[in-house]
């Protein structure tokens, strides 16, 4: 059976796996973005705090993703839980780092001007600092998403959702007629989804970043 015949025969399952893959990555990126920006906001004013935030989130990336999932299985079981925890933790570093860089890069004169017209610290953060820091934050989100698209495939090891199941089934049945087709379908599917995600972020940047501060 050719690759395209395999895709045609299995398109329903492939679409289901692709949807689950996208859903897992998207939901974990939402959580990682909220947590990462929050950590950045809390720590960016302190050199020591920023170092701790970046170092601690960077340490997560030194742990092989397969090992991280394996260590979580005895604690939270198989399925969605280890997938969500692993993807969220691995997605933090670029968001945290870029949040800190973006917030520190805001022109102090603009913050002082906002303070001078009576804006509270919270209002300055949400109306001045975060909007100006948004371009680097969005870049961090894009980087994290590309990382998680690949890491999410490893979640199939713990019975997680997504296209990684195709890849693992193919690897487990190497030598059979459709083994290579399974691995190729899962891999190409992840690549296509990653490109679509990135295109969506480019569009989001065009819609949300004023032309004057666009990189």
- CATH code where residue 10 lies: 1.10.3720.10
Indicate whether 120 pLDDT > 90.
no
DSSP assigned state of 178:
T
Helical pair 80-90 and 130-154, crossing angle rounded to 10 deg: 140
- Which tens digits make up the pLDDT trace of 162-175? 899 899 889 888 87
Q: Is it the case that residue 116 has pLDDT exceeding 90? A: no
C-alpha to C-alpha distance for 124 and 117, rounded to whole angstroms? 10
Model pTM greater than 0.85?
yes
pLDDT band at residue 108 under the 50/70/90 scheme: confident
CA 158 to chain centre: 19
Alpha-carbon distance 99 to 93, whole Å?
10
Phi/psi class of residue 61: alpha, beta or left (left: φ > 0; alpha: ψ in -120 to 50)?
alpha
Q: Name the residue range of residue 40's domain.
A: 3-213
Handedness of CA 61, 67, 68, 71 (dihedral sign): negative
| Predicted local confidence at residue 211, as pLDDT | 73
The average confidence (pLDDT) of the chain is 90
Percent of the chain topping pLDDT 70: 98
Mean pLDDT of 29-54: 94
Predicted pLDDT at 215: 55
Q: What is the pLDDT of residue 212?
A: 66
> How many independent structural domains does the chain possess?
1
For range 122-144, the mean pLDDT: 92
Structure tokens of 157? 């090891």
Across 84-99, average pLDDT = 95
* Alpha-carbon torsion angle 33, 165, 185, 27, nearest 10: -20
């Amino acid at each position: 059976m050719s690759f395209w015949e395999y895709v045609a025969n299995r398109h329903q399952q492939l679409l289901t796996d692709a949807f689950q893959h996208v859903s897992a990555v998207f939901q974990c990126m939402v959580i990682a973005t909220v947590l990462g920006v929050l950590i950045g906001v809390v720590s960016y004013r302190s050199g020591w705090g920023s170092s701790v935030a970046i170092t601690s989130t960077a340490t997560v990336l030194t742990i092989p993703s397969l090992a991280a999932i394996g260590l979580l299985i005895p604690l939270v079981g198989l399925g969605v839980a280890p997938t969500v925890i692993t993807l969220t933790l691995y997605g933090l570093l670029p968001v945290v780092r870029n949040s800190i860089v973006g917030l520190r890069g805001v022109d102090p004169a603009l913050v002082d001007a906002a303070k001078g017209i009576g804006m509270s610290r919270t209002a300055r953060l949400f109306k001045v600092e975060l909007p100006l820091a948004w371009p680097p934050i969005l870049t961090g989100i894009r980087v994290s998403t590309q990382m998680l698209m690949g890491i999410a495939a490893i979640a199939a090891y713990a019975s997680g959702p997504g296209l990684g199941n195709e890849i693992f089934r193919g690897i487990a049945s190497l030598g059979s007629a459709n083994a290579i087709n399974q691995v190729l379908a899962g891999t190409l599917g992840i690549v296509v989804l990653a490109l679509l995600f990135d295109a969506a972020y480019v569009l989001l940047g065009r819609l949300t970043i004023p032309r004057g501060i666009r990189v």
